[in-house]
Structure 1
Amino acid sequence: MKSYKAVLLAALTAVLLGGQAVAADKLRIGTEGAYPPFNEIDNTGKAVGFDLDIAHALCEKMGAECSVVTSDWDGIIPALNTRRFDFLVASMSITEERQRAVDFTDPYYTNKLQFVAPKNSDFKVDKDYLKGKTIGAQRATIAGQWLEEDIGDLVNIRLYDTQENAYLDMASGRIDGVLADVFVQYEWLQSDAGSDFEFKGDPVFDDDKIGIAVRKGDPLRERLNKALKEIVEDGTYEKINAKYFPFSIY
């Protein structure tokens, strides 16, 4: 009888401890840290931004203790798949090519692509004007892909390791314009560095779904989807959105 009670007590303890383990599991968030206002490194060395606020809100809903790991954009999917971190929140567009390497959650916002160029330029979003111009975009992004697939035969495309370097080249006159996510461009245009630039033309693509990436087949995807639904329904998402934008990006 003592043996039976001991086994039963051990089983109940394991269940209870198991529940606590799930409630306090430790997860690592992967991000780039060079894409304000979505993810960037502040002056204390901490990764901050819209992406990180969303990620931490999801961790809270999942009862997980989360830390942040940064990675260069070019190698960020390989870093996920080699387990440097557990899920990737870095304003990543959901594309067919990427879906062959990772699984995505439901979208957590919808992006658009739009050109930015100097205010004093006659930049136009038409093929006659763009022919022979040099346009910048960040490497391995949907903006770079759009340039290559849609107007690659017209323009000279220059790809950059970070968005900031594309802006620096445009400010120095080495490129004629930049194509990037509209919300990133919006943030930059509000800054001192972007004050002499403006949006040009309408968005060229307006249905860019942004998701959280996990390794193929990882059940964490469903936990993240459930948590995302919860932060949308309880108003947490809206509060985070309002911290960065005067309009909804969901």
Structure 2
Amino acid sequence: MMTYKKMLLAAAATLAFGTSAIAADKLKIGTEGAYPPFNLIDASGQVVGFDIDIAQALCAKMKTECEVVTSDWDGIIPALNSKKFDFIAASMSITDERKQAVDFTDAYYTNKLQFIAPKASTLKTDKASLKGKVIGAQRATIAGTWLEDNMADTVEVKLYDTQENAYLDLASGRVDGVLADKFVNWEWLKSAAGKDFEFKGDPVFDNDKIGMAVRKNDPLREKLNAALKEIVADGTYKKINDKYFPFSIY
């Protein structure tokens, strides 16, 4: 006969198993919500964008319901590791430093870094034209790191909590130029605020691989990778790409 203690242990095990099974049926996507066209909050308060559409397409392939949770960029990896969400879909560059804290999926697009500045500006990518300039970038990004590593002796680097704030200072003349992801810059240049600005020079870095982050050793990584292969193969990825860009970013 099962003792009372054993019954309690069995019930606890059943409850734990049931909770795990329920949790597996629903995942939380972590994103910033301030990085158009990849992730942003629309007029209705919904989080939308390329990152979100891709992540939801992966969830559909995994037959898993997913909800979106926003986080400040600076704290997004700690939030993942404290289990506030299950994976990050926020145009995050795959770097060796970040790999110490999280695991990444295969790249779901390839980014480039390129300067933008006023059309009348003589700013280019060489140090002579950049010398003494104030250049903005978002904090804790590849662009910010590239400036600090390569241009700290040439320009004044000004870092921002969001990309949108970097653009606000560019539009108001508080910085001479901005270095950011080419596709994010491309989106801003199409806006009314960006009409008097343009790309300057060629990309300074053109092989920035973007992945989704999961907690270390989480088997979710392989499920996401399998789903990514599926959406590329069946045309879902291209359909999402074409919704946002007239060129492929894969």
**Contact kept? 1:23, 1:62, Cα under 8 Å:** no
Secondary structure in 1 aligned to 2:111?
Answer: strand
For residues 1-250 of structure 1, the aligned pairs below 5 Å read 25-250=25-250
CA RMSD, Structure 1 to Structure 2 (Å): 1.6
The aligned counterpart of 2:10 is: none
Match for 2:141: what amino acid?
Answer: T
Secondary structure in 2 aligned to 1:202?
Answer: strand
Match for 1:246: what amino acid?
Answer: P
Structure 1 unaligned residues grouped into runs of 5+: 1-13
- Whole-Å separation in 1 of the counterparts to 2:90 and 2:50: 9
Deviation at 1:129, TM superposition (A): 1.4
Secondary structure in 1 aligned to 2:247?
Answer: coil
Deviation at 1:22, TM superposition (A): 8.2
Secondary structure in 1 aligned to 2:29?
Answer: strand
Match for 1:33: what amino acid?
Answer: G
Q: Normalized against structure 1, the TM-score is what?
A: 0.91
- Whole-Å separation in 1 of the counterparts to 2:65 and 2:237: 19
Structure 1 segments, 4+ long, off by >4 Å, are 21-24
What's the CA shift string for 1:134-189, capped at 9, x where partnerless? Answer: 10000000000000001111110000001111011111111100000000000111
Deviation at 1:216, TM superposition (A): 0.3
Secondary structure in 2 aligned to 1:168?
Answer: helix
Secondary structure in 1 aligned to 2:229?
Answer: helix
Structure 2 unaligned residues grouped into runs of 5+: 1-13
Match for 2:67: what amino acid?
Answer: S
- Whole-Å separation in 1 of the counterparts to 2:66 and 2:173: 42
Secondary structure in 2 aligned to 1:201?
Answer: strand
Deviation at 1:122, TM superposition (A): 1.4
Deviation at 1:24, TM superposition (A): 7.0
Q: Normalized against structure 2, the TM-score is what?
A: 0.91
Match for 1:79: what amino acid?
Answer: A
Question: What count of residue pairs does the alignment treat as equivalent?
Answer: 233
Deviation at 1:23, TM superposition (A): 11
Greater mean alpha carbon deviation, residues 142-151 or residues 123-132: 123-132
Deviation at 1:89, TM superposition (A): 0.2
Secondary structure in 2 aligned to 1:198?
Answer: strand
| Cα pair distance change 1:22/1:229, threshold 3 Å | farther
Match for 1:69: what amino acid?
Answer: V
- Whole-Å separation in 1 of the counterparts to 2:99 and 2:57: 25
- Whole-Å separation in 1 of the counterparts to 2:211 and 2:133: 32
Match for 2:122: what amino acid?
Answer: D
**Contact kept? 1:106, 1:225, Cα under 8 Å:** yes
- Whole-Å separation in 1 of the counterparts to 2:24 and 2:218: 18
Secondary structure in 2 aligned to 1:191?
Answer: coil
> What is the percentage of aligned positions where both structures have the same residue?
76
- Whole-Å separation in 1 of the counterparts to 2:174 and 2:224: 42
- Whole-Å separation in 2 of the counterparts to 1:24 and 1:117: 47
- Whole-Å separation in 2 of the counterparts to 1:168 and 1:108: 29
Greater mean alpha carbon deviation, residues 162-171 or residues 23-32: 23-32
- Whole-Å separation in 2 of the counterparts to 1:146 and 1:24: 38
| Cα pair distance change 1:130/1:230, threshold 3 Å | same
